[in-house]
Amino acid sequence: MRLPRMITVTLAGLAVLLPVTACSSDEPAGGAAPQASEPATPTEEPTPENLHPFTGQPADKMKPVLAVKIENTAAGKPQMGLKSADIVYVTQVEAGLTRLIAVFSSKIPAKIGPVRSARITDLHVAPMFGEPAFAYSGAQTKMLPFIAEASLHDVSDSRVPGAYYREPGRYAPYNLFARPKKLLAAARQASKAGDIGFTFGDPPAEGGVDRTSYTVKWPAARFTFRWSEDEKQWLIWQDGKKDVAAEGGQLGASTVVIQYTKTERSEFHDSNQSYTPLVKTVGKGSAIVLRDGKAYKARWERESEEGGTTFTTQSGEPMNFAPGQVWVALASRKPVTP
């Protein structure tokens, strides 16, 4: 497994014993024997080996990766389990709407959903994580051979039906939920978390612009990320409404990345001849990184589907993320319905 790429600075202290002189204010009173100084105990700093490559937070060991396709329209809200995700990708689907790819490894929630169908973009994002377990509910028949050849372990509702259930109080197709532990139990060969190109640490010394909110648009969806100084997070609104978790509280992230990509028409479409977008995540382009109440212009690059995505500042230095959950909005400069 590749080591996670982290930016960590450690200062090593050096204890020096100085001779006691007659004029020293530290001279023992009453002829008492001088006491030996206690050696300074260096503070152990987190190292790349014990920081999680997806969040930059302490981790005892690397665990398998689970990616889940999640509904993201009003009919499927509130979603369950997203607060435990390490990374959440926002991707465009038919009719200009969006769905989520939630990536879990460091924390595994008891339940997650609503789980929805796979799209071709998912199959291009997955290889960045090696061969993760991939949970979804159905796909176009024409796409099934692509899923079979993709770099993932298929734990869909048709492959692992015992890991899924219908959530009471919701209606189909927005009531299909999954139990992640059962999904991972069915994919014991799933890749463990490794380097995907992210770096974590102090923000760049220059280049940040103070921002209290940032809005990203798709043809039929709108996300607004607003900085909360109290919670130290970018709280999330979708289509003008608070994005509230089923477990309670508003969804939010320590770092939000708006990754500007090319969106093209794929060969897949629904029964209404609405074509499925193919979001290009291999290549290079511009990005905006939101962290600590500031917005930074950045560049992204992913050389191949097997490689990770790196983010750099305009001067070419690593664009460090703030430790914690990361949301990546795969967007276009000009929203387009292919």
Q: What is the pTM of this model?
A: 0.86
Whether residue 337 lies inside any domain: the answer is no
For residue 151, is it within any domain? Answer: yes
Residue 115: inside a domain:
yes
* Residue numbers of the domain that contains 123: 66-185
Query: Within a domain: residue 20?
Result: no
Q: How far apart are CA 254 and CA 135, in angstroms?
A: 25
> Can you give the pLDDT at residue 319?
98
Question: Among 119, 152, 185, where does a domain finish?
Answer: 185
Predicted pLDDT of residue 48: 57
Q: Which of 169, 185, 201 is the last residue of a domain?
A: 185
Contact criterion met (CB below 8 Å) for 283 and 310: no
What's the rounded Cα separation, in Å, for the pair 166 and 114?
9
Distances in whole angstroms, Cα of residue 329 to Cα of each of 24, 150, 216, 279: 63, 23, 8, 11
Residue/partner pairs of 225-229 with CB below 8 Å, 24 or more apart: 225/253, 225/256, 225/290, 225/327, 227/290, 227/293, 228/252, 229/293
User: Closest Cα partner for 246 from 51, 122, 127, 114?
Assistant: 114
Query: Distance between CA 261 and CA 238 in Å, rounded?
Result: 20
Q: Would you say residue 193 lies in a domain? A: no
How far is Cα 231 from Cα 338, in angstroms, rounded to an integer? 38
Residue 122's pLDDT is: 98
What is the DSSP secondary-structure string of 32-72? PPPPPPPPP-PPPPP-GGGB-TTT-SB-SS--B-EEEEE--
In angstroms, rounded to a whole number, what is the distance separating the alpha carbons of residues 104 and 116? 17
Tens digit of pLDDT at every position of the chain (338 positions)? 444 444 443 333 333 333 333 333 333 333 344 344 344 444 444 455 689 999 999 999 999 999 999 999 999 999 999 999 999 999 999 999 999 999 999 999 999 999 999 999 999 999 999 999 999 999 999 999 999 999 999 999 999 999 999 999 999 999 999 999 999 999 999 999 999 999 999 999 988 999 999 999 999 999 999 999 999 999 999 999 999 999 999 999 999 999 999 999 999 987 777 899 999 999 999 999 999 999 999 999 999 999 999 999 999 999 999 999 999 999 999 988 98
**Dist. CA 152–CA 90, nearest whole Å:** 19
The DSSP annotation for 186-199 comes to: T-TTPPBP---S--
For the chain, the residue count is 338
Sorted by sequence, the CB contacts under 8 Å of residue 94 that are 6+ apart come out as 269, 270, 274, 275, 276, 277
Task: Judge if 283 and 318 occupy the same domain.
Answer: yes
Distance from C-alpha of 309 to C-alpha of 148, rounded to nearest angstrom: 24
Torsion from C-alpha of 21, 24, 29, 33, nearest 10 degrees: -40
26 inside domain: no
Based on the fold, state whether residues 89 and 144 are members of the same structural domain. Answer: yes
Say how far apart CA 99 and CA 281 lie, in whole Å. Answer: 16
CA dihedral over 274, 275, 276, 278, signed as positive or negative: negative
Examine the fold and report which residue of 185, 218, 248 is the final residue of a domain before the chain moves on: 185
Check residue 170 and give its pLDDT.
97
Is residue 247 a contact partner of residue 83, using CB atoms and an 8 Å limit?
Answer: yes
Mode of pairing for the β-strands spanning 133-135 and 66-70: parallel
Q: Which helix (H) or strand (E) holds 180?
A: helix 180-185
What residues form DSSP beta bridges with 215? 224
The enclosing domain of 291 has a CATH number of 3.50.90.10
Number of separate domains in the chain: 2
Residue 223 placed within a domain: yes
